[in-house]
Structure 1
Amino acid sequence: MKSASTHLRLSLFALAALAFSGPAALAQSAAAPNPSTGTSASPTAFTPAPADTIPDNEFGEMVKKGQRIFLHTGEYASDYVGNSLNCVSCHLDAGRRKNASPMWAAYVLYPAYRSKNKHVNTLAERLQGCFQYSMNGKAPPADSETIVALQSYMYWMAKGAPTGVKLDGQGYPRLPEPPQKPDYVRGQQVFEQNCALCHGANGEGQHVNGKMVFPALWGDDSFNWGAGMHSVATAAAFIKANMPLGKGGTLSDQQAWDVAQYMDSHDRPQDPRFKGSLEETRQQHHGGEHDMYGTTVNGKMLGADSTPSGGKLSGQKQSEAS
């Protein structure tokens, strides 16, 4: 007879598998401007190739390598990852699910200007930023096998899609402003009722046999203050569309905003762009209405005592230097 702990592990893996299976940037509104006319146009429908149709050739091997990196980032790109998250932690169904920032919809939008760093970014640079911020690590070289493999995986999923247009399901559906101002206490209640079972009572995530099953939502093993998900608006959009896992759309808009406020009102690793001044970092890179960095919550100024960015990689550097 199986033990209770065995049943728990099996149930955790079953829930986590929902993130990797199923059918074929900050969320934008349903209508996107047509780059040639400046007018709005409805998103274009697109369905990526079935997951079992990766070609059996040299190119297919690179696509499969990109898929492995995407699903098990800390294992296959360990030199660049400083926490226990994987790409699939935010881009569900192996980067295929609509309204969970799917990779096939992102591929066709680059190169593009980004206000975050105020210049035109290539897709390689965009991926480098994901490692630096969401993975709390460091940027792989643009010509590294890691970046080439991930771009190949994205290209394969997007093959046949039109470029330079918004595809239906891109990003996360934008949420309207909530009826009430997002609230920490209400958000805590939503978290305890809907999120803590998977992500832990303290947002620390869950690991089984050393493998991340559910990601940490705050703390030193989570994304840092430079990641897009630190914005309450972005987190609320993702949560509304996709959480609780397998039950996306069941929370009200207000609940999504409230629990995002609660999640992003906890400390996490420092913004990699921090140069010693919390105030300057907030002025230069934060300060939006739904940005908690540099604000005081429960008597604590968020970001003032954050651990340095880099996570596990910073620890490795320190041990190598000693």
Structure 2
Amino acid sequence: MKHMRFILLGAALSLAACDHATPQLAAPVAKNPAPATSTSKKQSAFVPPSESDIPNDDFGKQIALGRQIFIDPARYAKAYVGNQLSCENCHLDAGRLAQSAPLWGAYPMYPAYRSKNHHVNTFAERLQGCFNYSMNGKAPPLGDPVLVALETYAYWMAKGAPVGASLPGRGYPKLAKPALAPDYARGETVFKRDCALCHGDNGQGQQSAGRTVFPPLWGSQSFNWGAGMEQVNFAAGFIKANMPLGRGNTLTDQDAWDVAYFMDAHERPQDPRFTGSIQATRASYHDTPDSLYGTEVNGRMLGQGQPTD
């Protein structure tokens, strides 16, 4: 995040996505060839269609609308958004980038049972959850044009992907537990060194011409306590693979865990499932060491919620 050239978000992410399709020069053949490595897996990874492949017909118009909503929900889905985030803040390159929960990895896995709400979810219901939690808004009703467009975009993005197969690059990487327990002070040091340039010293991100360029990481305009990113393990995996922007996999695993802990140890809007008791809400929905909801950090109980401005 230290280099201002990464403010050119679209260009940086497009280059990162293109790595999956760019041929590599052949290396000299070793006398004792090593077993296939992650490079071979990367070369055979799923490649979604590009924006230029969107068909020029009525179906293509729905794909294009879904992409617009995904990139700028505050403009195209305003009635359902309650903060300054966009979908691609957590699903980079308009939902294309591997290791960033890409749409092409998610769509083929639904319908699926989710422990979060204890029933089999359709993909449309999964999208509703994103509006409830990550966008701190309200879910569009099933069949709403916003959901139809987003599902059409995801369907098209996954064109050619096998149904029910967990593709390489789907979701966020799962990091092994760190050698040292995640620490607030160490995380703050990482944040100031590698994150504050883009997200601000106070973690509230940056805007340009009324649009969020770098998202707020906590506070009233960030994701609420019900979002998956509030879990330190999820945040650490995303950060390790993708941050600083354009320089993913440059932080150590320990740094990723520490700065994820630091980010999630700040207050944010209340979990929509809250019924009046922080501890009861934790017991029902956050009963994991990876959630700081309902725990005390620096003498302060987390989970009290922060009203939306």
* The two structures share one fold, judged by TM-score above 0.5: yes
Residue in structure 2 matched with residue 246 of structure 1 by the alignment: 246
The correspondence for 1:14, drawn from 8, 26, 37, is 8
CA drift at 1:279: 1.1
Residue in structure 1 matched with residue 84 of structure 2 by the alignment: 84
Is it true that 1:23 corresponds to 2:30 in the alignment?
no
C-alpha distance after superposition, 1:257-294 (max 9, x if no partner): 00000000000000000011111101100121111001
Amino acid paired to 2:306: T
Q: Partners in 2 of 1:115 and 1:180 — Cα distance?
A: 29
Residue in structure 1 matched with residue 69 of structure 2 by the alignment: 69
Alignment RMSD (CA, Å): 1.7
C-alpha distance after superposition, 1:84-120 (max 9, x if no partner): 0000000001100000000011000000000111110
Task: Tell me if the contact between 2:6 and 2:245 (Cα under 8 Å) persists in the aligned partners.
Answer: no
- For 2:197, what is the secondary structure of its paired residue? helix
Residue in structure 1 matched with residue 34 of structure 2 by the alignment: none
Amino acid paired to 1:283: A
Long gaps (5+) in structure 2? 19-40
Amino acid paired to 1:23: A
CA drift at 1:299: 1.5
C-alpha distance after superposition, 1:126-164 (max 9, x if no partner): 000000000000000110010000000011111111100
- For 1:23, what is the secondary structure of its paired residue? helix
Task: Tell me if the contact between 2:16 and 2:246 (Cα under 8 Å) persists in the aligned partners.
Answer: no
CA drift at 1:50: 2.1
Q: Partners in 2 of 1:20 and 1:45 — Cα distance?
A: 16
Number of residue equivalences: 283
Q: Partners in 2 of 1:21 and 1:293 — Cα distance?
A: 37
Is it true that 1:171 corresponds to 2:161 in the alignment?
no
Q: Partners in 1 of 2:302 and 2:161 — Cα distance?
A: 42
Normalised TM-score (structure 1)? 0.85
CA drift at 1:16: 6.1
- For 1:18, what is the secondary structure of its paired residue? helix
- For 2:70, what is the secondary structure of its paired residue? helix
77 and 19 in structure 1: CA distance in 2 versus 1, 3 angstrom threshold: farther
The 5-angstrom pairing of residues 1-322 of structure 1 reads: 13-15=7-9, 17-19=11-13, 22-24=16-18, 45-304=45-304, 306-308=305-307, 311=308
Q: Partners in 2 of 1:22 and 1:72 — Cα distance?
A: 21
- For 1:56, what is the secondary structure of its paired residue? coil
- For 1:198, what is the secondary structure of its paired residue? helix
Q: Partners in 2 of 1:23 and 1:227 — Cα distance?
A: 25
Q: Partners in 1 of 2:202 and 2:45 — Cα distance?
A: 39
C-alpha distance after superposition, 1:23-70 (max 9, x if no partner): 35xxxxxxxxxxxxxxxxx99832111221000000000000000000
Task: Tell me if the contact between 2:292 and 2:302 (Cα under 8 Å) persists in the aligned partners.
Answer: yes
- For 1:108, what is the secondary structure of its paired residue? helix
CA drift at 1:21: 6.0
Q: Partners in 2 of 1:265 and 1:19 — Cα distance?
A: 28
Normalised TM-score (structure 2)? 0.88
16 and 217 in structure 1: CA distance in 2 versus 1, 3 angstrom threshold: farther
Task: Tell me if the contact between 2:267 and 2:306 (Cα under 8 Å) persists in the aligned partners.
Answer: no
Task: Tell me if the contact between 1:21 and 1:94 (Cα under 8 Å) persists in the aligned partners.
Answer: no
Q: Partners in 1 of 2:292 and 2:303 — Cα distance?
A: 9
187 and 208 in structure 1: CA distance in 2 versus 1, 3 angstrom threshold: same
Long gaps (5+) in structure 1? 1-9, 25-41, 313-322
Give the 4+ runs in structure 1 shifted more than 6 A: none
- For 1:85, what is the secondary structure of its paired residue? coil
CA drift at 1:19: 4.2
- For 2:109, what is the secondary structure of its paired residue? coil
